[in-house]
Amino acid sequence: MWLNYLKIAFRRLANNRIVSVLNSLALAVGLTVALLIGIFITHELQYDRWVPDHEQVFRVYRVWNQTSNVVWTPSPLAEKLRSDYPEVISASGLSPSGEKLVELADKQIFVEHTAAVDSTFFQVVSLPFAAGDPETALSDPKGMIISTKLAEIIFGEEDPLGQTIRLDGTDDYFITGIISLEGRNSHLAFDLYRRFEWYSPYWSGNNRATYVKVNQNSSVEGLEGKVTTDVNKLVQQELAGMNLNVNAEDQAEWRLQPFAKIHLHSSEYSWIQSKKGNIEHLYIFGLIAVLVLLVAIFNYVNLATAQATQRGREIGVRKVTGAMRSQLVSQFLTESILIALVAGVIAIVLTVLLLPVFNEVVDRTLTLQEYGLLGVIGMVLLTIITGLLAGTYPALVISGYRPVEVMQKKFFHAGDKGLFRKVLVTSQFAITITLLLFMAFIYKQIHFMNSQDLGFDPEQIITVPLNFSTTNYSIQNRKNDLLAIPGVEAASVSSRLPGKLIPDWTIRIMGREEGYNPYVIFTDPDFAEVMDLNVKEGRYLDEEIAADSVNNFVVNETLVREFQLDDPIGAEIKFTSDTVWGRIVGVVEDFNFHSLTRPIRPLVMGGGERKWFASVRLNTAELDQVLASIQTLWQEIEPTHPMRFEFLDEEFAALYEEQSRFGNTVLYSGLLTLLIALLGLFGLTMFSVQRRVKEIGIRKILGASVSSIVKLISLEFILLIIVAFLIAVPVSFYIVRKWLENFAYQTDVSWWLFPVIGLVIIIIAMITASVQSLRAANLRPATTLRTE
Amino acid sequence: MIALKNIEKYYTNGFQKTWVLRDITTNIAQGEFVTIMGPSGAGKSTLLNIIGMLDSGDKGEYHFLDEPVMKLREKRRHELHKSYMGFVFQAYHLIDELTVYENIETPLLYRKVKRSERQSMVAEMLDRFGIVAKKDLFPHQLSGGQQQLVGVARAIVARPKLLLADEPTGNLHSAQGEIIMDLFKELHDEGMTILQVTHSEKNASYGTRILEIEDGFIREDYPVRQGGLIGH
Ligand SMILES: Nc1ncnc2c1ncn2[C@@H]1O[C@H](COP(=O)(O)OP(=O)(O)O)[C@@H](O)[C@H]1O
Ligand SMILES: [Mg+2]
């Protein structure tokens, strides 16, 4: 029987080539989207789940006021967890240490992802070692663990173990361990681990993440509670010892985040984590995959039921010769599954072709190999389920025909007048238009953010990360040489830059009990000139005034407003840990030192010695020449490291990379959905023309014009698309408003984008629908009438 | 074999009922070869379809092999239909995507006949109807007469007791029609009960009895005398 079903299915495929192509192409596109997104989602879900004992490992974080989650913890925490709590097996600290220059003989490599850890870190987190002993690898302070990837780059075939390499041009380390993730993924994707070089004994400090491994079955909430009580007490004591008030801000909830959740559930956590995942995006992507696949399935349903008239006779014959309805249903399902399988094969080819593009969109390096047999099984299952979903409704409808009705053709109309089909076409286009409208507003928002006046001028500024705390002085010494280069307007060093992670510090205001937490940037006096900041009141820091490099401060307008400083100039403030008070000497106009997703917050700028970035304002058309001169000079400023620079405006734009990638995903899925819907529309008009070929012939004989016939066929569909548009408008309006809530600065939801997108889609649909009707309208009536 | 009592069939169009069959009462015994005649629209096909269980009457009683068809469950009806009946249509109604061989084989598939048995049964049909050479052709590659041969072969391959034929020669020219009618005669001689609808008096002469229908009533019911047609 199955053989018979298959045979007829194959022959139908071959005989109805256009429909088969339309169907399998649409399903293939739908499956491709589902497959790509499916791969991405499984990839994301697999992060860290393979690490041995991961269920027992947690990362400590703090919650303030139920809102902000902070992963940074004080240095002594790991030690306390180890010694004071019986359920803790071990605990250890980790801090990303940025980019490092690694040297071996004449090789110089910048390693982007490096970390500092406690020597016991790999007893807490059991990352697999390809060589070396995780227990003892970091016993020696000069030991170093690298990834197999880095080992290959530096040493090639050689055995790296025991080899010595130089870090940042100063210190030598010897390799004691190689970590191999073997193609699996972890949020701990560092290529280089060393021991911490420093330790801060303060409980009020926060400078590293703390990972903790607990006994099986121990109560996590219990531990969280105990730690919260104990540590908050320690913080209190410490602050009291410094004669400081303790306010609510210093008392956090201490919590434990499961190891395997770190990758996906940390988007709201302040922490440096490359390729951070985002569970919300995963949901949205999953929803998009389902929608696109649904649109493709609707296509099949539409084309299959539209074809039903043709198949009525076959059904009648089969029933008369003894077929039971269930057998007919199996036959139709065999057909739909077969088409789905053909589509599945095409989808795999498309997926292979599109994977590189998709990887860029989602910022991953996904491969199909990663999934192996399980992936194949998943794909086959997905395909079969798609085939079943697509085939069930048409199978039920068509197999329900009564032989007497379908075989005496004179009484047979394909039943339902196609109401269901109309609903499906409308939902297809409603989904498509919603996605495209959403996409339009994502881009509009990104464009809005990039063209917004930031309150400082990021253009023509290059920024250079500094590798040593002493570089600050080298630059101050050579600043005149730097400024002497034609095309260089101004140069400055600062602790942080707009758009980078900027820390907040606790300050005190003279005469007030409570502490405040503004963001803090330490700068030299030239910072205002480089960034083109507007000083509103008082002045910016001045080189000539000694106190300006120590404890005089400049603040922004938001700080004045939010901290309610009636007379800011001259107001006395200080950092909690400082002993002497300083003064506010100027107020600058607000500028966006964070991305526009966040509102402007209070900011303090002061002298201080911690400077990690140089920024240089250029004014030149000969960029290459100026850059070359700066680079030459830089060899004297930091001889150990090749100079690396970025443009501040590009860095700022890069802050919206996640949004851009998200926008791209929505754009591509929107376009693919449109493609599928158009394929379906094309097929439906084709059937409509086939069914009405005689009517069209007669109308032509009676003198109908080509355009009136095109209208006759297309109008019905165009009306459906207009209905779809009317549904899509409120839905996308709601989604867009919801999405814009993620941004402190929002573009307007301008009404004109709706009709523009709607019109574009209606025109494209009209063209698609016209292809078939034009063809029919141009046939000579003699030909069409003869076929009846 | 077939007992019809006061069978009625009507269609409701709005509030108005149009009767297609009224008060049909008749018996057909095993081994008869009955011809239904009458003008177009008289209800011949409807009656045939009701007897063949493709359609059902709105009133009356229908016993097939002593089973009360109109009171049976769908499943049992389907079983009766499947095990006892074969259908031949005016428009042949072969399945376009299947070859001659496969078309004939279809009823056997639905009756779960074993593969080897199927092969021999289909081969027997092909042989008997002289279409062995055509077995791998598709319907559109055959002439009308050949298609109807396949149609008959398909109708009887599963060895039904009752063969129902609705104007089987209506689309054929006379020579082709004759071949089909000769075949029916042969089948009848072998003991098959046959019920055919036709407009042709000549075709009717192959049978044993004629039911004339007009406006849904049985107007006349009379035997065919061997060798000639009884006038009236
Ligand atoms: N589904 C239907 N709805 C309404 N009228 C029908 C339907 N089927 C058949 N009829 C009517 O029933 C009558 C008998 O039809 P039919 O049995 O096909 O006649 P015959 O085969 O004798 O030409 C016709 O007048 C036809 O119009
Ligand atoms: Mg008829």
Query: What's the rounded Cα separation, in Å, for the pair B22 and B17?
Result: 12
pLDDT at B16: 87
Measure B203 CA to nearest chain A CA, in Å.
22
Provide the greatest CA pair distance for chain A.
105
Residue A267 has pLDDT above 80, yes or no: no
Query: What's the rounded Cα separation, in Å, for the pair A439 and A434?
Result: 8
Closest CA to B9 of B17, B22, B48, B53: B22
- Tell me how far the alpha carbon of residue B14 is from its chain's centroid: 32
Q: How far is the CA of B158 from the centre of ligand 2 (A)?
A: 25
More confident call, A527 vs B15: A527
In the predicted model, what is the mean pLDDT of residues A83-89?
94
pLDDT digits (tens, 9 = 90+) for B124-172: 999 999 999 999 999 999 999 999 999 999 999 999 999 999 999 988 8
In the predicted model, what is the mean pLDDT of residues A229-241?
86
- Site of tokens 């286009």: A429
Q: Which protein residue has the closest C-alpha to ligand 1 atom 27?
A: B41
pLDDT at A629: 93
More confident call, A310 vs A473: A473
Based on its alpha-carbon atoms, the radius of gyration of chain A, rounded to whole angstroms, reads 34
pLDDT digits (tens, 9 = 90+) for A684-729: 888 888 877 777 877 777 777 778 888 888 888 889 999 999 999 9
Complex-level ipTM? 0.86
- Count of A-B CB contacts under 8 Å: 57
Going by the DSSP 8-state scheme, the letter that residue A143 receives in this structure is E
Q: Which one of A8, A12, A320 would you mutate to disrupt binding with B, by most B Cβ within 10 Å of its Cβ? A: A320
pLDDT digits (tens, 9 = 90+) for A119-146: 999 999 999 999 999 999 999 999 999 9
- Window from A219-223, A271-275, A352-356 with minimum mean pLDDT: A271-275
Q: Which of B82, B91, B94 sits opposite A322 (nearest CB)?
A: B82
pLDDT at A788: 36
CB contacts of A8 in chain B (<8 Å) are 95, 97-98
Q: Which of B45, B52, B106 sits opposite A318 (nearest CB)?
A: B106
In this structure, what token pair is assigned to residue A611? 């400077």
Closest CA to A770 of A711, A708, A723: A711
pLDDT digits (tens, 9 = 90+) for B73-94: 988 988 999 899 999 988 888 8
Q: Is residue A421 part of a domain?
A: no
Ligand nearest to the CA of B54: 1
Residue A66 has pLDDT above 60, yes or no: no
Tell whether B111 lies on the interface with A, counting CB pairs under 8 A.
yes
Query: What's the rounded Cα separation, in Å, for the pair A701 and A687?
Result: 22
Do both A248 and A344 map to the same domain? no
Strand partners, B21: B9
What's the burial of A526, exposed, middle or buried (CB within 10 Å: 0-12/13-18/19+)? buried
pLDDT digits (tens, 9 = 90+) for B4-54: 999 999 988 878 888 999 999 999 999 999 999 999 989 999 999 999 988
Three-class HEC string of B8-77: EEEEEECCEEEEEEEEEEEEECCCCEEEEECCCCCCHHHHHHHHCCCCCCCEEEEEECCEEHHHCCHHHH
CB contacts of B98 in chain A (<8 Å) are 7-8, 11
Do both A96 and A73 map to the same domain? yes
Residue A395 has pLDDT above 70, yes or no: yes
Three-class HEC string of A452-504: CCCCCCCCCEEEEECCCCCHHHHHHHHHHHHHHCCCEEEEEEECCCCCCCCCE
**In which band, very low, low, confident or very high, does the pLDDT at A416 lie, cut at 50, 70 and 90?**
low
Q: Are A318 and B154 within 8 A, CB to CB? A: no
Please state, in angstroms and as integers, the Cα–Cα distance from residue A132 to each residue in A128, A142, A184, A402, A730, following that order: 10, 14, 20, 76, 60
Instruction: Look at residues A212, A235, A261 and tell me which one is the last residue of a structural domain.
Output: A261
- Window from A354-358, A476-480, A499-503, A765-769 with minimum mean pLDDT: A499-503
Q: Name the residue of chain A whose CA is nearest to B84's CA.
A: A322
Mean pLDDT of chain A: 88
Q: Are A404 and B49 within 8 A, CB to CB? A: yes
Q: Is residue A648 part of a domain?
A: no
Q: Which of A321, A404, A407 sits opposite B107 (nearest CB)?
A: A321
Do both A621 and A472 map to the same domain? yes
Is B16 near ligand 1, meaning CB less than 6 Å away? no
pLDDT at B191: 93
Name the pTM for this structure.
0.82
Q: Which one of B106, B122, B157, B171 would you mutate to disrupt binding with A, by most A Cβ within 10 Å of its Cβ? A: B106
Q: How far is the CA of B38 from the centre of ligand 1 (A)?
A: 13
Instruction: List residues of chain A with CB under 8 Å from any CB of chain B.
Output: 1, 4, 7-8, 11-12, 15, 313-314, 316-324, 327, 402-404, 407-408
pLDDT digits (tens, 9 = 90+) for A189-214: 899 999 998 888 888 777 899 999 99
Tell whether B53 lies on the interface with A, counting CB pairs under 8 A.
no
More confident call, A400 vs A781: A400
- Site of tokens 């009317």: A726
Q: Which of A7, A12, A320 sits opposite B54 (nearest CB)?
A: A320
Residue A276 has pLDDT above 90, yes or no: no
CB contacts of A312 in chain B (<8 Å) are none
Residue A412 has pLDDT above 60, yes or no: no
pLDDT at B231: 44
Is B145 near ligand 1, meaning CB less than 6 Å away? no
Do both A335 and A233 map to the same domain? no
Which domain does B106 fall in, by range?
2-230
3-state secondary structure of A117: strand
CB contacts of B95 in chain A (<8 Å) are 8, 314, 317-318
Do both A621 and A769 map to the same domain? no
The interface residues of chain B toward chain A in range 119-158, judged by CB-CB distance below 8 A, are: 154, 158
**In which band, very low, low, confident or very high, does the pLDDT at A785 lie, cut at 50, 70 and 90?**
low
Tell whether B77 lies on the interface with A, counting CB pairs under 8 A.
no
Residue A10 has pLDDT above 90, yes or no: no
> By percentage, how much of chain A surpasses pLDDT 70?
96
Q: Are B87 and A321 within 8 A, CB to CB? A: yes
Q: Are A327 and B110 within 8 A, CB to CB? A: yes
Q: Name the residue of chain A whose CA is nearest to B160's CA.
A: A321
A615, A530 contact by CB (below 8 A)? yes
> By percentage, how much of chain A surpasses pLDDT 90?
52
Q: How far is the CA of B218 from the centre of ligand 2 (A)?
A: 16
In the predicted model, what is the mean pLDDT of residues A573-584?
87
- Please, which residues have CB within 8 angstroms of residue A721's CB and are 6 or more apart in sequence? A425, A426, A429, A761, A762, A765
Do both A622 and A659 map to the same domain? no
Do both A693 and A719 map to the same domain? yes
Is B42 near ligand 1, meaning CB less than 6 Å away? yes
**For chain B, what is the domain count?**
1
In the predicted model, what is the mean pLDDT of residues A583-597?
93
Q: Which protein residue has the closest C-alpha to ligand 1 atom 18?
A: B45
Which domain does A722 fall in, by range?
427-451+653-788
Atom of ligand 1 nearest to the CA of B43: 17
Q: What are phi and psi of A269, to 5 degrees?
A: -100, 135
Q: Which protein residue has the closest C-alpha to ligand 1 atom 10?
A: B20
CATH number of residue B50's parent domain: 3.40.50.300
Q: Is residue A458 part of a domain?
A: no
Do both A498 and A631 map to the same domain? yes
For ligand 1, pick from B7, B13, B20 the residue to mutate: most ligand atoms within 8 Å of CB.
Answer: B20
Do both A571 and A439 map to the same domain? no
- Tell me how far the alpha carbon of residue A120 is from its chain's centroid: 33
Is B12 near ligand 1, meaning CB less than 6 Å away? no
**In which band, very low, low, confident or very high, does the pLDDT at A411 lie, cut at 50, 70 and 90?**
very low
Measure B140 CA to nearest chain A CA, in Å.
13
Residue B61 has pLDDT above 60, yes or no: yes
Do both A591 and A670 map to the same domain? no
**In which band, very low, low, confident or very high, does the pLDDT at A405 lie, cut at 50, 70 and 90?**
confident
- Tell me how far the alpha carbon of residue B221 is from its chain's centroid: 19
Do both A206 and A224 map to the same domain? yes
Query: What's the rounded Cα separation, in Å, for the pair A69 and A252?
Result: 10
- Window from A255-264, A273-282, B131-140, B211-220 with minimum mean pLDDT: A273-282
Do both A135 and A118 map to the same domain? yes
Residue A247 has pLDDT above 60, yes or no: yes
Q: Are A408 and B110 within 8 A, CB to CB? A: no
Q: Are B95 and A317 within 8 A, CB to CB? A: yes
**For chain A, what is the domain count?**
4
- Please, which residues have CB within 8 angstroms of residue A501's CB and are 6 or more apart in sequence? A270, A272
Q: Are B107 and A313 within 8 A, CB to CB? A: no
Q: Cβ of B72: how many Cβ atoms within 10 Å?
A: 16
Q: How far is the CA of A690 from the centre of ligand 2 (A)?
A: 27
Is B20 near ligand 1, meaning CB less than 6 Å away? yes
For ligand 1, pick from B9, B40, B46 the residue to mutate: most ligand atoms within 8 Å of CB.
Answer: B46
Closest CA to A366 of A42, A667, A34: A42
Residue A53 has pLDDT above 90, yes or no: yes
In the predicted model, what is the mean pLDDT of residues B193-217?
93
